[in-house]
């Protein structure tokens, strides 16, 4: 059994604990319930945010894979059309459009290879002006073949072409004009002859520029 002294010490200890706890808060149960409900709400919101983050990351990965797949598919299609137009323009030869780093297509650049018939070209700078023009035209037409644009402006792209190459250029241009409207700035008579409408800029003695327009279809009807 505990002695009186032990009981007094125990009582004092318990009283000290009560003093440390402070006064009893009769609203404590209600406050606890409010805090518990708030904690559950915040926990649910955190779960929702974490779930949204997981879904967003999954969608991002899916979108990145889709972009990479479509980019690779488009590159292959453009490459095939580029080879076709290149051989059409040059009557042979070989050309290729490829990724500079096929292992990392997201950061890879594009490299262009062009080898006209009878030439061994290691650098595009070794091509003549006409050959570079034809190569650029072949690439442009390949892009328009894969993804037609409603409108395209060509500014003297035929300036460095000889008569035979101009003929192949306007032939391909007429075929693409079925889906794309072209505005061609040129001084080449053969290219002008293939146009549906011609617009010329002239300056009179008063130094004022004037626009002259002719629709070839109307001239043919008048004849």
What is the per-residue pLDDT for 208? 87
* Radius of gyration over every alpha carbon of the chain, rounded to an integer in angstroms: 39
Residue 94 lies inside a defined structural domain of this protein = no
Q: Which of 138, 202, 206 has its CA nearest to residue 173?
A: 138
Residue 79 lies inside a defined structural domain of this protein = no
Residue 218 lies inside a defined structural domain of this protein = yes
Residue-number span of the structural domain to which 220 is assigned: 148-223
What is the number of structural domains in the chain?
1
Chunked mean pLDDT (size 10), the chain, 223 residues: 80 84 78 92 95 95 90 92 95 90 80 88 82 94 94 93 92 93 93 90 84 75 51
Residue 107 lies inside a defined structural domain of this protein = no
DSSP state of 193: H
Residue 165 lies inside a defined structural domain of this protein = yes
- In this structure, what token pair is assigned to residue 159? 């300036």
DSSP states of 65-114 as a string? HHHHHHHHHHHHHHHHHHHHHHHHHHTS-EEEEEES-TT-TTT--EEEEE
- In this structure, what token pair is assigned to residue 35? 């805090």
- In this structure, what token pair is assigned to residue 105? 């297509």
What is the per-residue pLDDT for 95? 92
Residue 191 lies inside a defined structural domain of this protein = yes
Residue 175 lies inside a defined structural domain of this protein = yes
Beta partners for 183? 153
Residue 222 lies inside a defined structural domain of this protein = yes
What is the per-residue pLDDT for 118? 86
Q: Could you tell me which residues come within 8 angstroms of residue 57 by beta carbon, excluding any fewer than 6 positions away?
A: none
Pairing mode of beta strands 151-155, 110-115: unpaired
Residues 44/36, Cβ–Cβ less than 8 Å: no
**CATH label of the domain that carries residue 220:** 3.40.50.300
């Amino acid at each position: 059994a505990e002695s009186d002294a032990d009981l007094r010490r125990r009582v004092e200890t318990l009283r000290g604990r009560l003093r440390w706890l402070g006064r009893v808060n009769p609203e404590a149960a209600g406050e606890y319930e409010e805090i518990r409900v708030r904690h559950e709400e915040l926990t649910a919101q955190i779960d929702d945010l974490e779930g949204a983050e997981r879904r967003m990351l999954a969608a991002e990965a899916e979108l990145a894979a889709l972009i990479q797949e479509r980019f690779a598919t488009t590159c292959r299609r453009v490459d095939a059309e580029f080879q076709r137009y290149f051989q059409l323009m040059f009557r042979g030869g070989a050309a290729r459009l490829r990724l500079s780093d096929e292992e990392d297509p997201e950061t890879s650049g594009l490299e262009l290879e062009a080898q006209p018939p009878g030439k061994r070209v290691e650098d595009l700078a070794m091509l003549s002006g006409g050959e570079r023009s034809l190569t650029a035209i072949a690439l442009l037409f390949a892009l328009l073949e894969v993804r037609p644009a409603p409108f395209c402006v060509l500014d003297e792209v035929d300036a460095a072409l000889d008569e035979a190459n101009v003929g192949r250029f306007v032939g391909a241009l007429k075929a693409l004009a079925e889906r794309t409207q072209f505005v061609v700035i040129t001084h080449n008579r053969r290219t002008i002859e293939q146009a549906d409408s011609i617009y010329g800029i002239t300056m009179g003695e008063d130094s004022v520029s004037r626009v002259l327009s002719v629709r070839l279809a109307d001239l043919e009807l008048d004849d």
